[in-house]
């Protein structure tokens, strides 16, 4: 994995996570939201509703912890929804 691009590595990790959850009887669906930063939380929330999801497993990376906790960040918006 060390020669792979970050997007490829992330895809492999999410595949592993979904497979692990399925192995334990959880109907895991891998979904990647694409949009403008301000829209991502709304897109993820709507997709969870559409799927009837009762659990969201999400990666949070690319910014410092402080940035992710600032009002308006995707992580913050999802945590407060």
* pTM score: 0.62
- Given this model, what pLDDT does residue 1 score? 46
- Given this model, what pLDDT does residue 49 score? 93
Q: In this predicted model, what pLDDT tens digit does every residue of 19-78 receive, in sequence order? A: 999 999 998 888 777 777 778 889 999 989 998 998 888 876 666 666 655 666 787 788
Using CA atoms, how far apart are residues 24 and 22, in angstroms rounded to an integer? 5
Secondary structure class of 59 (helix, strand, coil): coil
Using CA atoms, how far apart are residues 28 and 25, in angstroms rounded to an integer? 9
* CA neighbor of 37 nearest in space, from 77, 79, 80, 81: 77
Looking at per-residue confidence, does 10 or 39 come out higher?
39
Using CA atoms, how far apart are residues 70 and 58, in angstroms rounded to an integer? 17
């Amino acid at each position: 994995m060390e020669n792979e691009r970050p997007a490829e590595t992330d895809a492999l990790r999410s595949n592993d996570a979904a497979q692990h959850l399925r192995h334990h009887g959880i109907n895991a669906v891998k979904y990647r939201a694409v949009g403008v930063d301000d829209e991502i939380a709304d897109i993820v929330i709507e997709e969870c509703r559409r799927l009837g999801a009762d659990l969201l497993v999400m990666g949070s990376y690319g910014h410092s912890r402080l940035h992710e906790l600032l009002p308006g960040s995707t992580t913050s918006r999802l945590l407060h929804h």
